[in-house]
Structures are given as structure tokens and as C-alpha cells.
Amino acid sequence: MPSAAPRIDTPPEGGAVLRGAWTAAGLTAGRSWRAASQALAAAGRAGPWDLRQLDALDHLGALTLWDHWGRQWPPQVRADDDQRALIERVAAFSPEALPSRPATLARRVDALGLWVVQAVAQVRDFVALMGQLLLDFGRLLAAPRWAPWRDFSGHLYNIGAQALPITALVGFLIGVVLAYLMSQVLRQFGAETFIVNILGLALIRELGPLLGAVLVAGRSGSAITAQIGVMRVTEELDAMRVLGIPAGFRLVLPRALALAIVMPLIAVWTTLAALVGGMLAADLTLGITPSYFMESLPKVVMVSNLWLACAKSAVFGVSIALIGCHFGLRVKPNTESLGRGTTSSVVTAITAVILIDALFAVLFKSVGI
């Protein structure tokens, strides 16, 4: 016959007598859990507690009692040997029963050393990936017909062509916002015509390539890490290693080449969309006609700024590809590691893009100015 629902009787002499099945099935059936909780609250903690009338007791029931007792034994507990052994086992493996390790200076130094070792391993693996990419590129030049051109063309389409709508939209809106905000300031000084200089230099030299790179890092960098990470989870990378297929030549090289070619084109596309947005906003707010804008732009912005933007965009593309592949190859065969690697890839790629842009700004500060 089925066991009775868990309950607590309180005899006239005081204390608490547990009856029924204090098990996972008994406590979770119907409203038994709420009734048991109310009965425990009414019984208090002092006791004495009599468990000998129980129909059944399992780990969940023992843990419920142990938590109610404040994770310590009451003054009086009447239980048989099996029940006492079960509660003692719950008490031994409860979180509070684990030995605490104080955060001493030695432990903090150990934690710092472990973090340094992990950081050095990350840098070592990334440098090795860069070196392997150079070797694979030399192999490509030596035997171009054996290159994975189908993968390369697929990445060109997925990373480049499919990113055109979002990059154009963001670039256009950024151009409108910049032109509108600058027009409010320039109008105060009667310098409305200088909006062409400011927009042209800011968008062509900095914002166009940077916006395109950030969007591609968030859109395609995460996709690269997820694709390679899924291959790790499904053991495709292990299969490639067994078959003798080099992962760098088939996975890293096509993505790096595709991004190196696509990123300058996306930078130019984003810059053009931003210039169109800025030109329309300047026409509406300052009366600067599009014909005057297009006529003045080549005179005030040197073409060397465009070449500099394309050059650093190519560096952005290779960096995003390497970072995405690096974190993808480091994914462990579980979904938690896949999600963590994808997040780290996006954050690292965007940070690297900003650092590289700052480095280019310092090294080439006299170019095109």
C-alpha cells in the first residue's frame, strides 16, 4: 500500500513525532511540501524529535530536517541506526560542513600565479596560430590549386555580402547624428562649411573602418568561434586530425583571407553610407547642398586617408579572424565552454580592434593631415 503523506504529530508531553514518508516522492506529491514546511515551522527546533515512526526517509527528507535544525543536531533525537547514519551523511557533505580555506597571502599568490600561467598559455597559443597562418599562406602560394577556395568564397558571401545591410544602416545613422550635432556647434561660430572637413576626415579615416570592424567582430567573429566550437563539441576537429586534414589550412586560412579582403570593402561601404547620411543632414540643418559637399570633399580630405583606412581595415579583418579561430579551437567539448568562448571572442575582438586603431592613429598621425 502507498505510504502516508509526511506529517508531524505533537504529543501532550511535547516534542515532535514524524510520520509518513519523508522522501522525494512523498514531499513533492500534491501539497505535501507546503504542509510539511508548515508543520516544521510549528514544531520549532528544540524537540525532542522522534523519527522511529517514519514509514520511509531518504536523502531529501534528511536534508529537509537538517536545514530546519539549523544544520546542527538538536538536543534530543530518537532515531534508528539507518536514519541516524543517513542524517550524518547529509551533515558531512553539506556545504557548511566542508572545510573552509581562508584567503591567506599564499593562496592569493597561488591564484595570481595560476592566472599568469593561463594568460601566458593564451598568448603562446595565439602566437602559434599566427605562425601557422603564415606557413599556411606560404603553402597556398606554393600550390594555389589545392587551396580551399570553396570555403573561401562561402566566407566572402557570409561575412561580406550579408553584412552590407546592417553596416549601411548603422553608417547612415551615425552620419546623420554626427552632422546634426556638429551643425549645432558650427552654426554658433558661422563655420557651417567646415562640416565637410570634419565629417570627411572623421568618417573616412576613423569612424567608417572602426564601425565596420566592430559590427563584423560582433556578427562574424562570434559566428567563427561558434562554428569551430561546435566542431569541437561534435568531435569533427578530432576526426580531421585523425584523417590528417590540417585545421589551420582548412579552417583558419579561408576565414583570415576572406576577412582581409572583405573588411576594406565593408569599411568603404560603411563610410559611403555615413557620408550620405551626413550630407543629407547637413543639407537639412545647414543648407549645405549635396553638390557643394561632393565638390569640396576631395579638396579638404586627402586620398591618403582612404588608403590608410583600407590598410588598417585589412589588419582588423585578420585580427578578428585569428581571435575568432583562437577561441573556437580552445573550446572544450561542452556547451558551457562554447558559450563562454563565444562571449570572450566578441569582447576580445572588439577590444583588439580599438587598440589597433589607436596604434594606427599614433603611428600614422602625420599621414593625410
pLDDT per residue over 131-148, tens digit each? 999 999 998 899 888 888
Same domain as 170, residue 279 = yes
In the predicted model, what is the mean pLDDT of residues 3-10? 73
Identity at 83, one-letter amino acid code = Q
Residue 167: inside a domain: yes
**For residue 2, is pLDDT > 60?**
no
Residue 17 Rama label (left phi>0; alpha psi -120 to 50; beta): beta
Same domain as 190, residue 51 = no
pTM of the model: 0.70
Domain boundary among 50, 80, 97: 97
pLDDT per residue over 276-319, tens digit each? 999 998 888 888 888 888 888 888 888 888 899 999 999 999 99
Same domain as 88, residue 199 = no
CB contact at 8 A, 233 and 331:
yes
Helix %, strand %, coil % of the chain (to 5): 75, 5, 20
Among 178-187, 314-323, 340-349, the minimum mean pLDDT is found in 178-187
Same domain as 132, residue 90 = no
CB contact at 8 A, 292 and 233:
no
Same domain as 132, residue 85 = no
Which parts of 143-194 fold into alpha helices (H)? 149-155, 164-189
Same domain as 133, residue 78 = no
Strand partners, 17: 9, 50
**For residue 46, is pLDDT > 80?**
no
In the predicted model, what is the mean pLDDT of residues 38-46? 71
Measured in Å, how far apart are the chain's first and last C-alpha atoms? 91
Q: Which domain holds residue 88?
A: 7-97
Same domain as 150, residue 88 = no
Residue 257: inside a domain: yes
pLDDT per residue over 24-33, tens digit each? 777 777 677 7
E-assigned strand segments in 51-126 = 54-57, 77-78
Same domain as 213, residue 87 = no
| Distance from C-alpha of 61 to C-alpha of 95, rounded to nearest angstrom | 17
Same domain as 169, residue 71 = no
Reduced to 3 states (helix: H, G, I; strand: E, B; else coil), residue 99 is coil
Report the pLDDT value the prediction gives residue 265, as an integer from 0 to 100: 94
Residue 114: inside a domain: no
**For residue 165, is pLDDT > 60?**
yes
| Distance from C-alpha of 52 to C-alpha of 45, rounded to nearest angstrom | 18
Tell me which DSSP letter residue 28 carries.
S
Same domain as 194, residue 320 = yes
DSSP string, 111-135: HHHHHHHHHHHHHHHHHHHHHHHHH
Provide the number of structural domains found in the chain.
2
Same domain as 149, residue 46 = no
pLDDT per residue over 181-223, tens digit each? 888 888 877 777 888 888 888 898 888 999 999 999 998 889 9
Report the pLDDT value the prediction gives residue 103, as an integer from 0 to 100: 66
Residue 187: inside a domain: yes
Residue 359: inside a domain: yes
Residue 120: inside a domain: no
pLDDT per residue over 221-268, tens digit each? 899 999 999 988 888 888 888 888 888 888 999 999 999 999 999 999
Residue 358: inside a domain: yes
Residue 106: inside a domain: no
Same domain as 208, residue 89 = no
**For residue 1, is pLDDT > 60?**
no
**Cell triple for 94:** 553539506
